[in-house]
Copies of this chain bind each other. A is one copy, B any other.
Amino acid sequence: MPRIPATQRRAALARAALAVASRDGLAAASTRAIVAEAGMPLASFHYAVASRDELLGDVVALVVAEERAAALAALVSHARDPREAIRLALLGYLDQVRADPGREQAMFELTQHALRTEGLDGLPREQYARYRETALDVLVAGARRLGFDWRVPPADLARLLVMVTDGLTLAWLADRDDAAAERAVDLAADALAGFVVARAGAEGRDDG
């Protein structure tokens, strides 16, 4: 083991923890399993980080910092109408889940664990705020690219969109039914397209 500054070790441990949690579950992400994944001796753990829970906080931050909206936004550009754009974006997200189910499941486990752990509660709030921020970006980017407006506040719509993706993920993790998931995506796209309104200069009025 070469000499590595503590902050760098800390980041490596967070990545290793995410890898273990994705592959074997958060419960299996023990300090020993994490350092084994990172190829470090056990004692390096508490030299780089005060406690396991503190590292899990880093993991949440690590995930939240990632930018995963780019691929989805790109998909939107291939669509002709808003409904198809939403459908493609949701299918793209579904593909991400299917490509690495453990990863998405680890996210849920991480959220649940944080909610139950003193000092880590409060993290899910930021985590989901970031999710919605990402969703909002996709929503406004899609509207701009295809030239329409949302007839409700996009921020509220972002929350609904994250709800749908979370629900989509949980349902697919539970039964791995691809066909049913895609039907659900169709319906969700149908439903969300109902909030689309043709762009019209300064006509759009959105009162409560």
Contact = CB atoms under 8 A, between A and B. Distances in A.
Given A112-B109, A195-B191, A163 B173 contact: no
A66 interface: no
B187 A152 contact: yes
B157 A187 contact: yes
A4 B127 CA distance: 47
Contact of A188 (B112, B128, B160): B160
B160 A184 contact: yes
A174 B116 contact: no
A61 interface: no
A39 interface: no
B164 A164 contact: yes
A183 interface: yes
Contacts of A79: none
Interface in A54-77: none
Please tell me the size bucket of the interface on A: 35 or more
Contacts of A157: 187
Given A116-B27, A166-B170, A129 B175 contact: yes
Contacts of A113: 27
A190 interface: yes
A27 B52 CA distance: 15
Contacts of A183: 156, 159
28 contacts: A25-B116, A108-B108, A108-B112, A108-B170, A109-B112, A111-B174, A115-B173, A115-B174, A124-B173, A125-B174, A128-B171, A128-B175, A129-B175, A152-B187, A156-B180, A156-B183, A156-B184, A159-B171, A160-B184, A162-B167, A165-B167, A166-B167, A166-B170, A187-B195, A190-B195, A191-B192, A191-B194, A194-B194
